[in-house]
């Protein structure tokens, strides 16, 4: 761990970018499964439960689960370290800040990152830790048969109006975080050129809008059904 911390800033950014892009791909898979909570097709519950069973029992997925947690830890750790290093490098802020070319999303990456971290903690408490038996299952209109019954866990959570509103707010903030993070990751990997940077930026913008909208569709459905 000490060796990881003492890497150069460029190396930290490179590793953080790889971890971030891995997490971005995971979000697509996660959203694809979560959308089956909604009655999009007749057998949506069976598909959701089959996908969850596969994701929680397949040995290969178990390995990727470890990689996923590693990705979270590395991304969060390096994000915090790089931000602290930036603060130390400029301990005294200008009394009057002039015009800056730094984007809004870039200025507040550490803030949105902290909110995303809080969201992850809440998410783990309500789902992953329940599976491990570390926390109690969320209460609601549905009775859970096992601590792996993620479908009814989700129903119970999204049946709570305040939880659904909080979830929507946190996902919107995640979208802000993704907006800058996507382009920043490719820049850290050295893929920054006038020919394809605009394309990367456009893909990042579309991604940071569609992914949050997909997740938000779930609580919105339960709020108005």
Position 166 scores a pLDDT of 95
Structure tokens at 182: 């996507």
* 3-class secondary structure per residue, the chain: CHHHHCCCHHHHHHHHHHHHHHHHHHHHHHHHHHHHHCCCCCCHHHHHHHHHHHHHHCHHHHHHHHHHHHHHHHHHHHHHHHHHHHHHHCCCCCCCCCCCCCCHHHHCHHHHHHHHHHHHHHHHHHHHHHHHCCCCCCCCCCCCCCCCCHHHHHHHHHCCHHHHHHHHHHHHHHHHHHHHHHHHHHHHCCCCCCCCHHHHHHHHHHHHHHHHHHHHHHHHHHHHC
pLDDT in tens, 38-57: 998 889 999 999 998 888 88
Quick count: other Cβ atoms within 10 Å of Cβ 4?
13
Q: Tell the residue number behind the tokens 């709570």, with chain if given.
A: 160
**Residue 108 pLDDT grade (very low, low, confident, very high; cuts 50, 70, 90):** confident
Contact 207, 178 (CB under 8 A): yes
Position 99 scores a pLDDT of 45
Position 208 scores a pLDDT of 93
- Rounded to two decimals, the pTM is 0.82
Percentage, residues of the chain above pLDDT 70: 88
**Residue 218 pLDDT grade (very low, low, confident, very high; cuts 50, 70, 90):** very high
**Residue 8 pLDDT grade (very low, low, confident, very high; cuts 50, 70, 90):** low
């Amino acid at each position: 761990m000490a060796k990881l911390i003492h890497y150069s800033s460029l190396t930290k950014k490179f590793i953080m970018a790889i971890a971030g892009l891995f997490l971005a791909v995971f979000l697509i898979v996660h959203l694809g499964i979560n959308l089956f909570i909604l009655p999009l097709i007749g057998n949506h519950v069976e598909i959701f439960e089959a996908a969850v069973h596969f994701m929680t029992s397949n040995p290969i997925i178990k390995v990727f689960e470890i990689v996923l947690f590693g990705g979270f830890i590395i991304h969060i750790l390096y994000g915090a370290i790089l931000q602290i290093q930036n603060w130390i490098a400029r301990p005294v802020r200008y009394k009057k800040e002039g015009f800056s070319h730094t984007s809004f999303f870039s200025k507040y990456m550490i803030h949105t990152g902290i909110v995303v971290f809080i969201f992850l903690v809440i998410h783990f408490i309500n789902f992953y830790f329940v599976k491990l038996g570390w926390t109690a299952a969320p209460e609601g209109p549905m009775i859970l048969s096992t601590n792996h019954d993620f479908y009814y866990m989700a129903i119970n959570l999204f049946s709570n109006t305040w939880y659904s509103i909080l979830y929507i707010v946190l996902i919107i903030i995640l979208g802000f975080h993704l907006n800058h993070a996507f382009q920043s990751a490719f820049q850290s990997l050295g893929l920054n050129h006038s020919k394809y940077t605009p394309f990367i930026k456009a893909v990042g913008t579309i991604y940071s809008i569609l992914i949050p909208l997909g997740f938000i569709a779930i609580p919105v459905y339960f709020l108005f059904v």
